[in-house]
């Protein structure tokens, strides 16, 4: 939990962005370069970089698995940056990360161009509501100018295919040079964030609505209690606020907030859009789980059945190849929850074809 001597000061507009792209295209390396370019305190940079590499399996494979959050401030904004997994087996974590973004940086290697997970991440980002994209071409060594133009044209076609502005900015960055502290790489990382400042708008936050935060993670702090983390979806939260914990088939629990933080800094108030850690009174680690909701008492209820009108993606759109019938049991990704559900088709409908 936060050091009480450190306080988060809301001096700049807060925006959540993330890095998307194919495995090994340099998303985490780019994030390290950005941290090097903007962090004044080298010790703080090193601590955040260590946090990015905290998963030993991920580190051994050089593949990001968990969704990691770090912070920087430009002259205009405070950013929380989500580092999304690129490995195909970790789609649900990518969905969790993408669902928290106000905009994204799509990282494409100059060696490979757009690859399968480049397309998959663009599709998923669009599906979970990420509207704004800035493209970063990560330069590996000397890049032939003609090849670079072909890569850019291919990226523009992909952006248009998945419903984004084909003229979205494309910025070239040598991420490894930036990570190593070389001036050329640091300057390119700063230029990238200048473009992000100008391209990705600050969203209108629903701070006047009842508080709600999907729980992404839960952990215990000895002598303090249980902390839940997540992105506040709506409303505000303060120390002393009463809250309810709902969902995942568990009985509704009532508790109170004893601490609010963001990036290990205490806050007077958490607001919609903040990636917050909230300390809860009188709960054990096992009383709460990822996928539940923290909410203002009486503001939401849980349901296990609902009617919905859905569009089923075709194989060409990254979805199903075959039809399905009543009784089909897919995975449902609802906010941070990952549960198996059952589909019941309307009377008279025997099957549904993708598309």
Residue 271 CB neighbours (<10 A) = 19
Catalytic site positions: 24, 27-28, 87
**Using CA atoms, how far apart are residues 260 and 2, in angstroms rounded to an integer?**
8
**Using CA atoms, how far apart are residues 313 and 319, in angstroms rounded to an integer?**
4
**Using CA atoms, how far apart are residues 271 and 234, in angstroms rounded to an integer?**
7
Q: For tokens 């568990």, what's the residue?
A: 250
- Confirm if 215 and 294 have CB atoms less than 8 A apart: yes
**Using CA atoms, how far apart are residues 269 and 205, in angstroms rounded to an integer?**
14
Torsion (CA) 147, 150, 152, 156 in degrees, nearest 10: -170
Alpha-helical runs (H) found in 137-211: 145-161, 175-179, 183-199
Residue among 112, 96, 196 at smallest CA distance from 154:
112
- Write 309-312 long-range contacts (CB < 8 A, 24+): 312/352, 312/353, 312/354, 312/355
Look at residue 14 and give its three-state secondary structure: strand
Residue 32 CB neighbours (<10 A) = 24
Helix (H) or strand (E) holding 126: helix 116-127
- Confirm if 264 and 249 have CB atoms less than 8 A apart: no
Residue among 31, 175, 25 at smallest CA distance from 115:
25
Phi, psi at 344, each rounded to 5° = -115, 120
């Amino acid at each position: 939990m936060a050091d009480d001597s450190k306080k988060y000061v809301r001096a700049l507009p807060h925006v959540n962005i993330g890095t998307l792209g194919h495995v090994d295209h340099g998303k985490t390396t780019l994030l390290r370069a950005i941290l090097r370019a903007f962090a004044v305190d080298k010790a703080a940079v090193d601590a955040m970089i260590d946090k990015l590499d905290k998963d030993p399996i991920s580190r051994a494979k050089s593949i990001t698995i968990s969704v990691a959050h770090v912070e920087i401030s430009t002259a205009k904004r405070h950013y929380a940056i989500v580092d999304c997994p690129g490995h195909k087996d970790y789609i649900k974590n990518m969905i969790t990360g993408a669902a928290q973004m106000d905009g994204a940086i799509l990282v494409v290697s100059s060696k490979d161009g757009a690859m399968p997970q480049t397309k998959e991440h663009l599709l998923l980002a669009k599906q979970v509501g990420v509207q704004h994209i800035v493209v970063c071409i990560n330069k590996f060594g000397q890049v032939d100018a003609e090849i670079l133009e072909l890569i850019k044209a291919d990226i523009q076609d992909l952006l248009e295919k998945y419903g984004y502005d084909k003229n979205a900015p494309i910025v070239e960055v040598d991420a490894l040079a930036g990570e190593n502290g070389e001036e050329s790489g640091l300057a390119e990382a700063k230029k990238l964030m200048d473009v992000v400042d100008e391209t990705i708008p600050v969203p209108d936050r629903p701070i006047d609505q009842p508080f709600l935060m999907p729980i992404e993670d839960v952990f215990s702090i000895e002598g303090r209690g249980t902390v839940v983390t997540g992105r506040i979806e709506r409303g505000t939260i303060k120390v002393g606020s009463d809250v309810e914990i709902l969902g995942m088939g568990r009985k509704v629990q009532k508790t109170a907030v004893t601490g609010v933080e963001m990036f290990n800094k205490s806050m007077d108030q958490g607001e919609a859009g903040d990636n917050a850690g909230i300390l809860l009174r009188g709960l054990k680690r096992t009383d709460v789980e990822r996928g539940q909701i923290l909410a203002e008492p009486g503001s939401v209820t849980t349901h296990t059945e609902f009617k919905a009108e859905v569009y089923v993606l075709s194989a060409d759109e990254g979805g199903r190849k075959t039809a399905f019938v009543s009784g089909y049991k897919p995975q449902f990704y609802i906010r941070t929850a990952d549960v198996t559900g059952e589909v019941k088709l309307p009377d008279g409908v025997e099957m549904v074809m993708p598309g």
